[in-house]
A and B are shown apart, each in its own frame.
Chain A
Amino acid sequence: MEHIDFSLVDWSRAQFALTAMYHWLFVPLTLGLSFIVAFMETKYVRTGNPEWKRITKFWMTLFGINFAIGVATGIILEFEFGTNWSNYSWFVGDIFGAPLAIEGIMAFFMESTFIAIMFFGWNKVGKKFHLASTWLVAIGSNLSALWILVANAWMQNPVGMKFNPDTARNEMVNFWEVLFSPVAIDKFTHTILSGYVLASIFVIGISAWFLLKNREHVFAKKSIRLATIFGLISAVLIAITGDNSAKMVAKHQPMKFAAIENLYHGEANAPLTAIGMLQQSNEPAKHDFVFKIQIPGMLSFLAFNNTDAFVPGIYDLLNGNPEHNILSYKERCEKGKIAITSLGEYKTAKKSGNDSLAKAALIRFEENYPHFGYGYYADRDLTELVPNVPVNFYSFRIMVGLGFYFILFFAIILFFALKDKLQNKRFLLYTALWTIPLAYIAAELGWVVAEVGRQPWLIQDILPTIASVSQVTPASVQITFWLFFVIFTGLLIAEIKIMLTQIRKGPENAAEVTQNSQIN
């Protein structure tokens, strides 16, 4: 790693971020709307009320538009792994391959098969079979997300694997440890719930538009009631999983946790900064508060369920804190350097047939492997190991703030919906409509915190971005960055345009649906 081309690393990261963020514009709506549609169709099958069929078919069409335009946008990420991140792709081995293969074989095929029945099976298959297909699409979509999120969680907290120095690949030794790691469970539940919240807000916002236009009152009210209950439950659960996520980050990614809090000097009874504004300090890689509102002891409680617990700051991690058994990054870099050198020595000794040297090198390597990634920073400025503090600090607060706003939003909408007074509250209806983009902002910021916060690591503590990139030219990455920007922006415009046309058109004629229901 003597010659690291940062423009290559930065462009490769920017391209991945661009692709992932565009991909995530489509995914959460698919995850949530699939279940909302399944609930709506269940209502139709149980009650036989053709209005529920109209409702189901309308939202199913919007689901279909989002699914059709968003499908396969995630495959681009896999292209990027192979081209731009070849060292990483090789290094992760079957840890990434196995979950993604299961996703491809099981979840994607399940989703694709039943989606055909869901869209084209009306009046061709029985009501119950059609309903089962709709549910299987919802389950399949969410299972697809499971495997990708398990792989992502493994990168944040690598467990259940062993590095093979002969092949330079990680090998899975315990599939269940990978699948059921607390980080994976939390990552999955928190992420899919964000999709449920987003989809609920989407349904409420568009239904509110119909009420504002004085159209389709029955359709809009029924849609709002169902989506609000689903959204409120999901929003409350997301707060719980968010709390768990914070505990996981504090335990496994303390630097990310400190960066989110702009905490430089660790302390017991650490306060949580509810609101604050940062400015660059004169000290390296430090930001000071211009102003802050803090809740005493809350950060310690949030991280460790104990207000007296010590929360390490950025400087505790960089410089070490013997009192709290925190190894300095300098020491970790030295150990990492030993791991890297030992891996090279092991390889050379194996090649020359010197088994005793190889064995000794392997022992040194394995002892120091938990610090492997730090070795790449042994001769570098250690502040490179600190993620971007302002991005994490603000993104986290906006995401959490919006999360609490969504709970309040659902509660107020539900209150007026149950009293059947929502149609008279034009301010609330406009608020519902304008909450749709806020849901997308919160969903994207969640990923910003998760991914920018773990920088510079692709695999926490083991593999940084600078050791993961392929030796390709920065120009080629720049070209494909702009290509993707154009393609994805085109897809987004297509999605919005087709969706708006379909929304303006509204649900299909009630008489037609009643007639079809009788046939069915």
Chain B
Amino acid sequence: MTVGKKLWAVIIIKLIIMFLVLKIFFFPNFLKTNFKTEKERSNYVIDQLTK
């Protein structure tokens, strides 16, 4: 296997793990997942900061 092929394999495997596994299953965006609108998000953060 040439170095180029090895690197492409590493890049592809890495991107699949990052975007199709980690991002989807482990790293949902907390505010986007739990709140629908920007208004709800800002209200939530203000509540968090001032409680």
Check if A86 sits within 8 Å of B29, measured CB to CB.
yes
Cα A83 to Cα B23 with chains together (Å): 10
Q: Which residues of A contact B31 (CB under 8 A)?
A: 82, 86, 89-90
Check if B46 sits within 8 Å of A343, measured CB to CB.
yes
The answer to the question of B36 belonging to the interface, with a C-beta cut-off of 8 Å to chain A, is no
Q: Which residues of A contact B11 (CB under 8 A)?
A: 68, 71
* Cβ contact of B30, chosen from A472, A494, A501, cutoff 8 A: A472
Q: Which residues of A contact B14 (CB under 8 A)?
A: 69, 72, 487, 491
The answer to the question of A14 belonging to the interface, with a C-beta cut-off of 8 Å to chain B, is no
Cα A1 to Cα B27 with chains together (Å): 24
Check if A498 sits within 8 Å of B27, measured CB to CB.
no
The answer to the question of B7 belonging to the interface, with a C-beta cut-off of 8 Å to chain A, is yes
Chain B interface, number of residues (Cβ within 8 angstroms): 29
Q: Decide yes or no: A79 and B27 within 8 Å by CB, A72-B15, A498-B6 being known contacts.
A: yes
What is the 8 Å Cβ interface bit string for chain A, positions 36-74, against chain B (1 contact, 0 not)? 000000000000000000000000010011001101100
Check if B7 sits within 8 Å of A87, measured CB to CB.
no
Check if A82 sits within 8 Å of B49, measured CB to CB.
no
Chain A contact residues, majority secondary structure: helix
Check if B27 sits within 8 Å of A82, measured CB to CB.
yes
Chain A: minimal CB distance from B1 (Å): 10
Check if B7 sits within 8 Å of A83, measured CB to CB.
no
Interface residues in chain A, defined as those with a beta carbon under 8 Å from any beta carbon in chain B: 1-2, 61, 64-65, 68-69, 71-72, 75-76, 79-80, 82-84, 86-87, 89-91, 165-169, 340-341, 343-344, 347, 467, 470-472, 476, 479-480, 483, 487, 491, 494, 498, 501-502
Interface residues in chain B, defined as those with a beta carbon under 8 Å from any beta carbon in chain A: 3, 6-8, 10-11, 14-15, 17-18, 22-23, 26-32, 38, 41-43, 45-46, 48-51
List, sorted by A's number, 20 A–B pairs whose CB atoms are closer than 8 Å. A71-B11, A76-B18, A79-B22, A79-B27, A83-B28, A84-B30, A86-B29, A86-B30, A86-B45, A91-B45, A91-B49, A165-B46, A167-B38, A167-B42, A340-B50, A343-B49, A471-B48, A480-B22, A487-B14, A487-B17
